[in-house]
Structure 1
């Protein structure tokens, strides 16, 4: 009977561990609801609420006197004039783009509020299921910024281009920095030479129209980024802020603003993580990365009870078997835990082993999630075996690979293929290549091979990973631009054209490169190559 009591005690201990896990999940919900000045909500592809925290619920109730609930249409709380802009913002994130945006809201009583919103796609298994929005009230900060603008202008003139122009696009005034940025000898040279700003300076004439559209509707435009043409014909990236001044009849008297040359910053972003206000590819969704690490930690704690105690429970069962067998011989079959002992004797070892294996699987997944979401110092490198990079990537996309190419092959190197790298960044690149291969192969008969390479390339000094598929291939003309930002052949399917450009930038950061070999209709081979560690 002692064995049976021990078994029951262990089962009760498992039940307590399960309750502890439930409490941890409740604590996580409480953690989301604790910040009263940070709103969090998620929506599905039809703009219906999935979930929200208490701060967002109270905000909507206070400002619109509405009690929101899951399944409710997000636009039901917005004024008609705000719905179009909100739809555009939601559509961007539902197409896969992550970005940060400062929003201006008019509340029901007429007050103006400012919020900094972070938009992140909600993705599972490579499929976009909806979006998550983090909103932080920055009204007080924005008002102080507006009040301080006129006092800072005198200091900014020495560092930024300052100008005033007509609504028709002719300069009225410009400072020397403005002329220098645009490649002119002096402000007088700039104003005499440029008689139509939209036609002569903007590389994209539509940008000028977009600027005026925003200024006409809002009276101000902030942090607008575009390409401009210098006097010598070269192109630069600029960021400018502008506002319109009205006359007594409400017509635009002039437009004034400041302009900054951000070409160096844009080049650095393109080589590094291609971040900008038009292009934030989540940077591994930094805010959600913290949440993933937290959830992984909370799951790992109760799972430790299972990992440590299940082997003991299995040993207890084994030790108790002879007692239970003797009892069965004397009294016949009996019921234990709702099952006849004869059946339970066959099933219990399988159930226990299944729980042990499942607990180990949870531990492995949690460990990889924590590694993947861990924030590393910029430029940190370590000796990395590309065999481990392949294993890490497969942990995240194995299900997708099995679905696209059930017979996919993985060929690891017999010896460690060592490179100096940030392993999580390399996993990010490889995941992107594997997902692309899965999307390229035919619905039936898909073939994908992943192979670790060593001692290849010039002087046999390179190592890498090759992903080869039998998909549709890449046209020669597209192959030239495939690593450029925003270039995509899958625009209709929600492609942003950022995946390969970011992957290419990561490889260049590591002193490596991506190599593509493809023929239309004959599949594609992609190699990610890095210098080997000697």
Structure 2
């Protein structure tokens, strides 16, 4: 509301306040106050007259006691003090004359009361002495001699004359009589008491009369008259001022009435303008209601579209608080709209990257209509994470700005991409294995040719040595000791056969290793499953890794009990699995003093065969056990591990119905178990065919 609209109200309020003030000031409350003060003054005047009456009665001895005198004095003092308190002005300059007169009246009353107390004390002492003088005098006159009676009668007459009129000459005569009486010897106690009372009477009587005159001369009445006169003057002045206020009140009321009439005329003119404006506003309101109806219909269509979308469509204000939430967002995140609205948008994201937050801030700052697709990781209501893809756009409504995010769950796409990546890696691995097989076949062929020559020659050399041994033996008996190749014959006669035999065994071993390498590198034939003995597969694996085993550990052992049932499957794939497990166990050893063992056994249920590879290596953390067979997960990344060996091994075993399990304790080692199901018609190793 503008200052112009406030101005008439302020003027009216000011005039009303002025009227109220003038009405209060013109009410003339001093009239009642003046009447009350005058009534108090009359009571004070009456109480003062009563007090003077009681004092005169007390002096004449006609007052039985001083209670009435005391009560009248206290009442007079109370009235004068109450009058003084009422006339004491709140403002020191308002009523100085009345206040000073009231103070003087109270002071005069207080002085009079002090003198009355002195009078009461002296008069009581005087009355007591007079009574004692009278009683003792009567007693002495009754018992005195004729000459003494005349003397006492004269003293008695003078004393009572003095009591009626305490003149100084009478006091002197009484004093002479008392002195004369005191000169008589000897005196009894009654005479001495009589003399003392007489002297006290002539001493106190003038003093009491003097106090009485002082009390009577106190100007209490004049003080009351002066106060009444001043009160009338002050009341007249206040009444004149009240009349001025009443005149001002009338003038202000006339001004207020004129101003109200003026405002009424303006109000009528404004009412006509408002009616015209009201008609115009009604037309605008009708148009706006129509526009709002169209807007609500548009919002309803937009809400129907957003609720039917599979993507989450979420809007937030500049503070990051969610202001809209569609059905797709509820299905994706699990929050209901009434619970998530007003909550921060950041709680839907799982640790967004700084670049992602910078992109959001840039969109809010530049008011960009849309932005490129962003990838992040979101959190559902149960705090489980999932990958999302979202696009951001800014928009405004009035002066407020908002940010809308369209979020798409890409978990399925990410899973398919991961599956495709794994398949690609498996194809790469298969290609590498094919190339390895080709290489191994070529190398095996090149090694096998000279090795066959060695086998042939070593057999021929064994026959030659056997034939030459008889001739050499005869020569030894005939000629004695001789040398062969720089060595004594007696030593060579036994060592040569052993050397030739070792050469033949070495060549046969080479031939066996080459054959096993060719079998390991040969592509698997999944259509043709064969029966095989698990112990044979373990022995071939150990022979393939003999060099690595000897280099990594000094304590390698196997426990391969006989009589285990035959398995049906692909022995080459199982051999590949065991090679991976054994290599992992050897590489986990911290030093050659730690051991590795391979054990085959039949499980308790008699339906599965287990190969257990146990090492005393560094072990695996408990949180990593469940991830060992995940593609690309490795605990040997620093040593070049790819995380594919155990993943491929698990896949190969799964294809044949087998499975892998692991147990480990950090610092204590790891146990890997290959569990393979038996075939439908189990046989023993004694009758298997290879």
TM-score for the superposition, normalised by structure 1: 0.49
Of the two structures, which has the highest relative contact order with CA contacts closer than 8 Å and spacing of 6 or more? Answer: 1
The structure carrying a bigger helix percent of its residues is 2
The structure carrying a bigger strand percent of its residues is 1
Structure with greater Cα Rg: 2
TM-score for the superposition, normalised by structure 2: 0.38
